[in-house]
Structure 1
Amino acid sequence: MDLRPPLAAPAVPESRVERLCAAISHIEDLLEEGDAAEAIAAFNADTGHAYEPYDFRNYYASRDIEDLALEAARPARPKVPDISRAELVEIVRRMRVVGRDQDYYMLVLETNTVRPGAAALALGDEPAEAVVDEILRYRPIAL
């Protein structure tokens, strides 16, 4: 199934990833020296994200600089208000394919559903349709 453009992982030119990698490295250097607030603010303005010093100091514990740059190059909160069940099923299927876009599809699933831990549930062995039905059955408790 083809996904609508707001749901599909956007292609990111390698030159953009390289520029963001350079900016990340520069911010890391500034953090070592002391203050990187201006550089982080500029990075966030360029990417539409809300990264903090912690993100630049600790990303390497779970991913490499290219993964962080790719994340930064893509939308921070890819919310689509009229997402369908069929689209969610396709997102779960794509999320299960290990590769460069897996994290993005996890973000799309988490952003477009209200069930906490939807992405973790989707990584299980159940068929994608059953996972989506379970995710959609969830109703938050009104306080």
Structure 2
Amino acid sequence: MELRAIFTPPVLDEDKVRRMTILADDIISHMDSGRNPDKLIEMFNTLTDSEYTDIDFHNIAWEGDTEEFVRGVLMPGGPWVTDISREEYLEIIRRAASINLDGEANYRNNWWLYVHWMSILRRNLTHPDISNIVLSGDNTPEEALDKILMHKPIAL
């Protein structure tokens, strides 16, 4: 099924990904050597319109994939669309569930696409466990969508 343009995965500026990865690596290097990274973190936040702290960069250093972090920062969230049809939801679920994340190469090449499809579902549906329902392998796309749509948030 062809989806509307609003659902098209974004294309990241690879030059910006490279530059921001270098900057993030510089921040981590400053922290590792005991130098103050505050100015670099401020620059990173200004360039990415974000609010990360030194603790976030400690976590990145611990996890070890600066480029993956930068791609996540630069990836816009899924659009909020008031008129998504059942057929469109099913196609988005099919696309998310069909992404191969097995092995490092597949994960590195495909995770951003998975994040894109899941961010659309999370932005437009209220179920708190969409990922597990979609990826469990226990549900057809139709069954997954029915389970997700059955969830009614508790009004506080």
TM-score by length of 1: 0.79
4+ runs of 1 displaced by more than 6 Å? none
Query: Across the two proteins, how many residue pairs are aligned to each other?
Result: 142
Q: Which residue of 2 aligns with 1:71?
A: 72
Question: Identity over aligned residues, as a percent?
Answer: 27
Q: Which residue of 1 aligns with 2:116?
A: 104
Please give the per-residue CA displacement for 1:82-116, whole angstroms capped at 9, x wherever unaligned. 15133322222222212241123223322222111
How do 1:107-122 and structure 2 match up within 5 A?
Answer: 107-122=119-134
Aligned partners of 1:61 and 1:7: how far apart in 2? 33
Look up the equivalent residue of 1:108 and give its one-letter code. I
Look up the equivalent residue of 2:23 and give its one-letter code. A
Pairwise CA distance, 1:41: 3.5
Which protein has the bigger helix share?
2
CA RMSD of aligned residues (A): 2.4
Gaps of 5+ in 2: 101-109
Residues 27, 40 of structure 2: 8 Å contact kept: yes
User: Based on CA coordinates, which of the two structures has the bigger radius of gyration?
Assistant: 2
Aligned partners of 2:17 and 2:87: how far apart in 1? 31
Q: Which residue of 1 aligns with 2:148?
A: 135
Aligned partners of 1:78 and 1:127: how far apart in 2? 23
Pairwise CA distance, 1:4: 3.3
Note if 1:81 corresponds to 2:116. Answer: no
Change (3 A) 1:23 1:90: farther
Residues 28, 61 of structure 2: 8 Å contact kept: no
Change (3 A) 1:129 1:26: same
Note if 1:93 corresponds to 2:94. Answer: yes
Pairwise CA distance, 1:36: 3.0
Pairwise CA distance, 1:139: 0.9
